A = this chain, B = another copy of it.
């Protein structure tokens, strides 16, 4: 993409009401725009990041063998009454049509997925099965002050699994947990599997995937010597207590952001809708269900919270909006060689499949371009100027490195491709 063609360039200043690092940097860099508290537009650079996170999640869900679907956002009241949630879930947005029908706006999809699947899975032979979607969800939050980490409108992957035995659910949960840890690792995040309460969904203990960050809204107690982690609300220990799992260290307290969760829904939803399957003995049975979420827009905010410095964002390669930020500095170059070389390099990189953001502006100073590149945070910056061309070279500067180096024009394509791997 030529940066000149991007209508949403960096802003001089972040909006004054940006209270968190992710809100400040994402808005200033032109990745998102706040329409109202907790509701954002995704601009060209931000949308690319969102899609990359989405695709990593999708790949791992497909590897798990789950079917991708897309369920509605607009729901009839009846399905929310069937589960008791119409009156019990205070974050549920409700509305009325001009014909007097009442609807909910989806904040989770158990009420849709249970009838959808159960009408098609009436024999034990069809189990286990899992479906997922990646879609927008809504919560009537009292406050929404954490940038894209807590939205009234947010982007989620939600998967639902259906089983005939508790053992089979546990087996699938283990696979899903491994998939989740792979996802977070690919996204550059270390997530702790944390015991938590089941919230609205379940009376049972659930698991949350928590990333330690001061921008988070949860508090966890965790052990450094093993993987024990518990949410403060349900902890039987306090900070400083010996770890109940390994006894090798004491528990530490930290703020954390929930990036994923797993709920054991038991037989609640089959029973609520009286939707059952027939087992091997011909008996009617309710399925055991699990539900597995990942907050994709929230994850994008958490990545910014974990990967930034005083100059801006520092995207991991897996989710960076582009792989290369190419900067051409035309300056007083009168024969056009700087622009022509940059354009050829841009074309050559694109041809071999490298995603390049080319800052081709000619009315912006080198300093401003470098500041924008640092703010936007693409992993690799390449600079073409009269100075570098005098040596038939390109300047190579990784966002995470303090020093720049030089690479010859002859070798640059190959070096970029190796860097990407």
Chain A contact residues, CB within 8 Å of chain B: 5-9, 33, 35-36, 39-44, 47, 50, 65, 67-76, 90, 93-99, 103, 105, 112, 116-117, 120-121, 126, 129, 131, 136, 138, 140, 142, 152-153
Contact = CB atoms under 8 A, between A and B. Distances in A.
Nearest to A47: B70
A69 B42 contact: yes
Contacts of A95: 93-96, 105
Given A8-B69, A50-B70, A73-B73, 14 more contacts: A7-B120, A7-B131, A35-B71, A35-B116, A36-B76, A39-B76, A41-B72, A41-B112, A42-B69, A74-B153, A93-B103, A95-B96, A95-B105, A98-B140
A74 B121 contact: no
A42 B120 CA distance: 14
Contacts of A105: 74, 95, 105
B5 A67 contact: yes
- The number of times this chain is found in the oligomer is 2
Contacts of A140: 97-99
B72 A43 contact: no
Contact of A39 (B35, B74, B93): B74
A136 B98 CA distance: 20
A138 B43 CA distance: 22
A9 B39 CA distance: 37
A98 B116 CA distance: 30
Given A120-B7, A121-B7, A69 B93 contact: no
A131 B47 CA distance: 13
Contacts of A7: 67, 117, 120-121, 126, 129, 131
